[in-house]
Amino acid sequence: MDRELVERAQHGDRDAYETLARESARRLFLVCQRILRDADQAEDAAQRALVEMWRDLPGLRDPDRFEAWTYRLAVRCSLAEARRERRFHATVGTVGVLPNDPAGDPDPFAALVDRDALEEAFRELTPEHRAVVVLRFFVGLSLDEIAGVVAAPVGTVSSRLHYALRSMRRTLAADEPPALINTRLPA
């Protein structure tokens, strides 16, 4: 991201902001839609994030952190959208649900886990947990970077991520035939 462009936008240059907004829009929209799993909500959240980008840009002390800072806006607006609509418990099939994209190259990992099952397991996560999963496995941020985005200790981020993955695994396992469980009783 062009540091000078950010600095100009910080000082009220609307043309600079428009350039930044157009360059960032796709990136932020994709994050919002992965978190919310609802097209209408994702559009609203992304639009809000872009507006807040203009409004709050003067408060960004380090222009080099612009990209990470916009992720924070996207996550914050997504969580706000989720709280307002309270539709993150919606079941698969709700109007506006984004379909998986069937086009594209063969996915070598697609066969490992059924996509519908992943969708269901992902939807059972809270928006906060989804955000951490998206930042980690879709955006590709490190735990340190995610901690900066969500303003929390790295340990907390790590535990939330672990909890989210464990929860998804359990949901997926629940759909599998039950296996024998070996238990040990206290001596």
Residues 1-20 that bind another protein (CB under 8 A): 12, 14, 17-18
The reply to whether 98 sits near another protein by the rule CB under 8 A is yes
Residue window 124-153: x/- pattern of binding to another protein, with contact defined by CB under 8 A: --x-xx---xx-xxx-xxx-x--xxxxxxx
Ordered DSSP codes for 30-70: HHHHHHH--HHHHHHHHHHHHHHHHHHGGG-S-GGGHHHHH
The reply to whether 34 sits near another protein by the rule CB under 8 A is yes
The reply to whether 87 sits near another protein by the rule CB under 8 A is no
Burial of 27 (0-12, 13-18, 19+ CB in 10 A): middle
As measured in angstroms, the least distance from the Cβ of 177 to another protein is 18
Amino acid at 43: E
Applying CB under 8 A, among 33, 41, 70, 78 the residue interacting with another protein is 33
Residue window 37-66: x/- pattern of binding to another protein, with contact defined by CB under 8 A: x-x---x--xx--xx--xxxxxxxxx--x-
> For residues 118 and 137, is the Cβ–Cβ distance under 8 A?
no
Residue 180: which residues within 8 A CB-CB, separation 6 or more?
A: none
